[in-house]
Amino acid sequence: MIVVSACLAGLKVRYNGSHRLDQRIEELVQEGKAVTVCPELLGGFSTPRPPAEIIGGDGHDVLQGVASVVDEHGTDVTEMYVKGAKATLEQIQALEATAVVLKEYSPSCAAG
């Protein structure tokens, strides 16, 4: 099974309620070869939500507790991002995924 970013499959889960449809990814889901995940929704966020960025490092640094994730209002949302990352990893492991396709330039999906 392949795990893909939900927004790449056309689901409107991005912070601003949009998607980033990639036709090939959508086809994989429709054919039952891939399942979608959205780490931010798994972390407890809803759509729409304020955009956020990693401050002081990359995704690895966030997981190690030496960088943080802050939204555009200055709210530290690190805990929810870490929760989403862990939940995503659990899903990937539970599905015994053979491949993972995540979106670039996202503080959640492109963690690193």
State the residues that interact with ligand SF4 by CB under 6 A: 5-7, 13-14, 38-40, 103, 106, 108-109
Cβ 69 vs Cβ 62: under 8 Å: yes
CA dist., res. 64 & res. 35, Å (int): 28
* CB nearer to ligand SF4: pick between 68 and 103: 103
Which residues, in sequence order, are bridge partners of residue 101? Answer: 4
Q: How far is the CB of 4 from ligand SF4 (least distance, A)?
A: 8
* CB nearer to ligand SF4: pick between 16 and 75: 16
* CB nearer to ligand SF4: pick between 68 and 108: 108
Q: How far is the CB of 49 from ligand SF4 (least distance, A)?
A: 9
Q: How far is the CB of 51 from ligand SF4 (least distance, A)?
A: 10
CA dist., res. 4 & res. 77, Å (int): 23
Q: How far is the CB of 85 from ligand SF4 (least distance, A)?
A: 10
The DSSP element (H or E) to which 81 belongs, if any, is: helix 78-94
Cβ 85 vs Cβ 37: under 8 Å: no
